[in-house]
């Protein structure tokens, strides 16, 4: 998960008003930003490249990382000046704060930033048009931070397709796990799984709109258990088999998973569904059973080992990615050593690692035995050095290998085309940009710090990866 701000391009047919959305956080927030753009399209909102040219600005926030709300408040300070400038020029700008910071700190936002017009939590985006209309008429912030997840998905318009070859599809929201360090159960609410029919319909629309790869999204995606049309309950593996039947869908991924919900059927699906990519993001957070218990992770290190071994048994080219937190309250040197041992034994193609930071309202925030910053720094450096080396090793091991690439668009240099390997690595090769949206075979020539370069072997489109 990243916390970098990204602007989400919005594809809207009419351009009478302009909308700028700044998105922090994971792909689920990017998905939500696109859905907010969809829901505002009928009101005539088209994309703005900058806040300066926008009639409405939405900050879609993420509460995962440290200082998330400070970043939002400093952005709001800059937007206040812009809003005042526009007002002096006789223009109105609607300012909204959405996402997990809005959910967790709605009251504080309206108190500290009364120039904000709308505060809305992640489950109420379908009410955005109504809130925009009210905000345009009345002074004072409109706040909606309820948790009606089911209603949100029922009432949002059908997802728009921009024709891109990689699409995201939210199938699950919220979390019941309550890890000690995490705000998600408080900001996104209880686990909710979308029904099978809605997911399949959205997947088919995405594919007919040009998607060749679909990444299923959920805060706890492998806990998904949706109602099928016949009233039975499906688990994620059953859904994956059904999605694999969609003509033209070449690649399927799912993220983010919890080790406890990696059941045998799901592991087995990795060996039986060729469209399921051999790359899985499976956060483990720590290699110490004592810390896993303190984190309320509800699994032990041994379960993670068994899952990794089984996945590689059924799919020998399987690569794993993970999340790590160092310096959780109570973490001792021997716990950190257990994490290092886990990393050494499993080996990761990619990983995200962070120092523990206190999230207000989470159980770990008030725990004794907080780890000093300099100790956290040293442990993080040690861990990241090994993870970086493993990532480099993994990329270098790809050199000389042949694999299928899903091409996504032109590369950075003239004559190049760019895409993704089955293991999600960015790759570029000399070739026509017209390959975008298709799969073609390459030989990997070199591994660079953040990408691979390759030679096209066959420009003919492949049926699947």
Residues forming contacts to ligand SF4 in the complex (CB under 6 A) are 175, 177-179, 182, 184-185, 219-220, 258
Q: Is 403 annotated as a binding residue?
A: no
The three-class DSSP label of residue 235 is strand
**How far is 419 from 165, CA to CA, in rounded Å?**
10
Min dist. Cβ of residue 179 to ligand SF4 (A): 3
* Cβ nearer to ligand SF4, comparing 46 with 185: 185
Min dist. Cβ of residue 321 to ligand SF4 (A): 15
Give me the DSSP letters along 338-354.
HHHHHHHHH--SEEEEE
* Cβ nearer to ligand SF4, comparing 179 with 307: 179
Min dist. Cβ of residue 174 to ligand SF4 (A): 8
Min dist. Cβ of residue 205 to ligand SF4 (A): 27
Min dist. Cβ of residue 137 to ligand SF4 (A): 38
Q: 95 and 115 in contact (C-beta within 8 Å)?
A: yes
Q: 262 and 307 in contact (C-beta within 8 Å)?
A: yes
* Cβ nearer to ligand SF4, comparing 325 with 436: 325
SS3 content of the chain, % helix, strand, coil (to 5): 40, 25, 40
Q: In this structure, what token pair is assigned to residue 269?
A: 């699906």
The three-class DSSP label of residue 118 is strand
Min dist. Cβ of residue 256 to ligand SF4 (A): 7
Q: 219 and 174 in contact (C-beta within 8 Å)?
A: yes
Taking alpha carbons only, the member of 105, 125, 99 closest to residue 25 is: 99
Angle in degrees, 0-180, between the axes of helices 333-346 and 301-314, rounded to the nearest 10: 10
Min dist. Cβ of residue 191 to ligand SF4 (A): 9
* Cβ nearer to ligand SF4, comparing 69 with 220: 220
* Cβ nearer to ligand SF4, comparing 126 with 258: 258
Backbone Cα Rg of the chain: 23
Please report, to the nearest 10 degrees, the dihedral formed by the alpha carbons of residues 19, 24, 27, 31 taken in order. Answer: -20
**How far is 454 from 363, CA to CA, in rounded Å?**
48
**How far is 47 from 441, CA to CA, in rounded Å?**
36
Tally DSSP H helices, then E strands, for the chain: 13, 22
* Cβ nearer to ligand SF4, comparing 185 with 330: 185
* Cβ nearer to ligand SF4, comparing 22 with 177: 177
Residue 20's Cβ-side half-sphere holds a number of Cα atoms within 13 Å equal to 16
**Ramachandran assignment for 424, one of left (phi > 0), alpha (psi -120 to 50 degrees), beta (any other):** left
* Cβ nearer to ligand SF4, comparing 180 with 390: 180
> Omega before 256 cis (within 30°)?
yes
Neighbouring residues of 297: CB distance < 8 A, sequence distance ≥ 6: 177, 179, 259, 260, 285, 286
Min dist. Cβ of residue 42 to ligand SF4 (A): 33
Q: Is 26 annotated as a binding residue?
A: yes
**How far is 316 from 158, CA to CA, in rounded Å?**
38
Beta strand spans in 100-185 (E): 118-120, 142-144, 166-170, 172-173
Min dist. Cβ of residue 322 to ligand SF4 (A): 12
Q: Is 464 annotated as a binding residue?
A: no
* Cβ nearer to ligand SF4, comparing 7 with 293: 293
* Cβ nearer to ligand SF4, comparing 213 with 331: 331
- Label the pairing between strands 426-430 and 416-420: antiparallel
Min dist. Cβ of residue 123 to ligand SF4 (A): 15
Q: Based on the number of CB atoms within 10 Å of its own CB, is 14 exposed (0-12), middle (13-18) or buried (19 or more)?
A: exposed
Which residues belong to the annotated binding site? 26, 62, 100, 175, 179, 182
Which residues belong to the annotated binding site for [4Fe-4S] cluster? 26, 62, 100, 175, 179, 182
């Amino acid at each position: 998960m990243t916390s970098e701000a990204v602007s989400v391009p919005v594809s809207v047919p009419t351009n009478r008003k302009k909308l700028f959305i700044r998105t922090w956080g994971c792909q689920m927030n990017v998905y939500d930003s696109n859905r907010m753009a969809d829901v505002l399209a009928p009101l005539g909102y088209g994309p703005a490249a900058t806040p300066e040219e926008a009639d409405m600005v939405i900050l879609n926030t993420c509460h995962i990382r440290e200082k998330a709300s400070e970043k939002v408040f400093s952005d709001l300070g800059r937007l206040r000046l812009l809003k005042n400038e526009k007002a002096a020029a006789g223009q109105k700008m609607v300012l909204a704060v959405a996402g997990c910071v809005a959910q967790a700190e709605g009251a504080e936002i309206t108190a500290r930033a009364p120039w904000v017009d709308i505060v809305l939590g992640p489950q109420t985006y379908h009410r955005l048009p109504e809130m925009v209309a009210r905000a345009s008429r009345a002074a004072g912030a409109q706040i909606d931070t309820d948790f009606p997840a089911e209603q949100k998905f029922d009432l949002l318009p059908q997802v728009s397709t921009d024709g891109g070859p990689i699409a995201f599809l939210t199938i699950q929201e919220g979390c019941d796990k309550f890890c000690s360090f995490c705000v998600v159960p408080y900001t996104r609410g209880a686990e909710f799984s979308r029904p099978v029919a809605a997911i399949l319909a959205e997947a088919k629309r995405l594919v007919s709109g040009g998607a060749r790869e679909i990444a299923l999204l959920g805060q706890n995606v492998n806990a998904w258990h949706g109602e099928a049309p016949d009233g039975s309950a499906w688990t994620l593996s059953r859904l994956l088999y059904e999605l694999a039947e969609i003509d033209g869908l070449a690649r399927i991924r799912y993220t983010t998973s919890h080790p406890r919900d990696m059941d045998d059927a799901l592991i087995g699906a990795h060996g039986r569904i060729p469209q399921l990519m051999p790359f899985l993001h499976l956060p483990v957070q720590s290699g110490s059973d004592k810390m896993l218990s303190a984190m309320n992770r509800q699994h032990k290190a041994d379960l993670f080992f068994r899952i990794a071994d089984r996945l590689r048994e059924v799919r020998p080219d399987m690569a794993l990615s993970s999340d790590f937190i160092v310096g959780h309250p109570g973490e001792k040197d021997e716990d950190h050593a257990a994490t290092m041992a886990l990393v050494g034994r499993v080996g990761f193609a990619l990983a995200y690692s962070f120092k523990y930071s206190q999230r207000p309202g989470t159980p770990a925030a008030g725990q004794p035995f907080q780890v000093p910053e300099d100790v956290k720094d040293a442990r993080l450096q040690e861990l990241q050095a090994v993870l970086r080396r493993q990532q480099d090793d993994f990329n270098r091991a790809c050199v000389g290998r042949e694999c299928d690439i899903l091409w996504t668009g032109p590369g950075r240099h003239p004559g190049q085309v760019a895409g993704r390997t089955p293991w999600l690595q960015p790759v570029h090769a000399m070739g026509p940009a017209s390959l975008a949206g298709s799969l073609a075979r390459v030989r990997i020539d070199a591994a660079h710090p953040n990408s691979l370069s390759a030679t096209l072997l066959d420009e003919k489109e492949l049926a699947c990866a």
